[in-house]
Amino acid sequence: MKKLLITIDGPAGAGKSSVSRELADRLGYRYVDTGALYRGVAYVARQRGVAPQDDVGLSGLLDGLVLNFIPGNAGQRLTANGEDITGAIRTPEISMLASAVSARAVVRAFLLKIQRDLGQQGAAVFEGRDMGTVVFPEADVKFYLNASIPVRTQRRFAEAQATGTASIEAIERDMRLRDLQDSGRALAPLKAAPDAVLVDSTELTIDQVVERMLAHVRAALDRG
């Protein structure tokens, strides 16, 4: 059976991570969270005091930076030069920094090779913002997952309540700003690929979204 390469793009809070992990699990495929790679670069840049607009500084930072995904008991882990930074990159500050560094050509070129190397064997679900448009334009199946701003905000607020780190107003403000940054950048803006299957998760459960996606994946497998 052919090993498909599947991409799932979309804005923050649309449910990409949960859906991508579940879809990969049901197919027996690898799940690759490419957003974590940008967060990793943002985290290291903050640690070293490199501004997201400093291309020279970013280039020096990337020279020798090794990002790796490794399996863990609680799922996929990300390391930067051997340091496990999985938990450290999941903060509102790193989210905004990741959006900023993702607009830099030097960062995108560095991560493009890593992502394409990860996708060479197929049998993978890649989650991100330009997977189907830039990184894997020839992917076998492409999805663009979206949801309304109120629903996306509420989902992120529910996640944040466990730590009490942000108000719902702050989350919505940051989400709208990140949407603007991601979709408005000149380099690889967030948008649906022309041949992507559009899925609105506003009123759907994770299982319902995954079932819709599986129908398209099965059709692709049937086509050979």
Tens of pLDDT along the chain (224 residues)? 789 999 999 998 899 999 999 999 999 999 999 999 999 999 999 999 999 999 999 999 999 999 999 887 767 899 999 999 999 998 889 988 998 999 899 999 999 999 999 999 889 999 999 999 999 999 999 999 999 999 999 998 888 776 666 789 999 998 999 899 888 888 888 999 999 999 999 999 999 999 999 999 999 999 87
| Cα–Cα distance, 126 to 95 (Å, whole number) | 19
Letter for the amino acid at 61?
L
Q: Where are the alpha helices (DSSP H) in 103-205?
A: 105-118, 149-160, 168-184
What is the SS3 assignment for 223?
coil
List of domains in the chain: 5-210 (3.40.50.300)
Q: How far apart are CA 157 and CA 170, in angstroms?
A: 9
pLDDT in tens, 77-117: 999 999 999 999 988 899 889 989 998 999 999 999 999 99
* Beta strand segments in the chain, E: 5-9, 30-33, 67-72, 75-80, 83-84, 124-128, 141-146, 197-200
Rounded CA gap, 133 and 108, in Å? Answer: 13
Phi, psi angle pair for 196, to nearest 5°: -80, 150
Model pTM score: 0.89
**How confident is the model at residue 185, as a pLDDT?**
85
Q: Phi/psi at 8 (nearest 5 deg)?
A: -130, 110
